[in-house]
Amino acid sequence: MRLKLNVKRILGDLAGASLRVFPAETAHDLGMFLLKHRLARFLPRPADTLEVPHDLDLHMRIPGLGDLVHPIGLAAGFDKNAIALRGFEDLQFSFLEVGTVTPLAQPGNPKPRMFRSRSEYSLINRMGFNNDGHRAVYDRVEGSPLRIPVGVNLGKNKQTLTEHAISDYLKGLIHFKNLGSYIVINISSPNTPGLRELANPEFIRRLKSEIEMQVPELLKKIWIKLDPDLPRKEFIALIETITEERFAGLILSNTHRVTWPEAGGMSGHILSHLSSERLTWAYEVHRGALPMIGSGGVMSGIDVFHKLARGASAVQIYTALVYRGPWAVLHMLEEFKAEMLLHGYTRASDVVGCHYRD
Catalytic residues: 189
Of 159, 19, 15, 72, nearest in space to 337 by CA: 72
**Do 125 and 265 form a contact (C-beta atoms < 8 A)?**
yes
* C-alpha dihedral, 305 to 310 to 313 to 316, nearest 10°: -70
Burial 71-91 (b: 16+ CB within 10 A, else e): bbbbbbbbbbbbbbbebbbbb
Strands (E), the chain: 60-62, 66-68, 72-74, 96-101, 114-117, 122-125, 150-154, 182-186, 222-226, 249-252, 256-258, 264-268, 292-295, 314-317
Alpha helices, DSSP H, located in 95-145:
134-142
User: Around Cβ 173, how many Cβ atoms within 10 Å?
Assistant: 22
Of 346, 274, 285, nearest in space to 59 by CA: 346
**What CA–CA distance (Å, rounded) separates 261 from 220?**
40
CA atoms within 13 A on the CB side of 177: 13
The one-letter amino acid at 243: T
